[in-house]
Amino acid sequence: MTLHPTLASENFQFLREAVLAGLGVGLVPDYVVEADVAAGRLVTSLQEWRLSVFGTRMYLLRMPGRYRTLASRTLIDFLVEKSRAWAR
């Protein structure tokens, strides 16, 4: 599922307030709205979906150099193997 938000912020408290004000559905961490859900002010939805704000790509940053070290090659191979296993 690709999200196309009409309101975006890095401030979770702002997003919480927007949802409480009735502006729509919000994607915020559980801990931000835990009390609101317990009090019945908010309801959760899409529990069966895994939402990711990072998309479907993974990036590894490393120092530039002519050759990859054994450690970085091993890490890359490990991450590729695990991500392919998870995708299956």
Q: Where is pLDDT greater, at 60 or 44?
A: 44
| Whether pLDDT at 48 is above 90 | no
List b or e across 17-54, with b for residues whose CB sees 16 or more CB atoms inside 10 angstroms. Answer: eebeeeeeebebeeeebeeeeeeeebeeeeeeeeeeee
Calpha distance 51→27 (Å, rounded)? 9
- Whole-model pTM? 0.55
Token pair 């490990």 is at which residue? Answer: 78
Average pLDDT over residues 73-86: 87
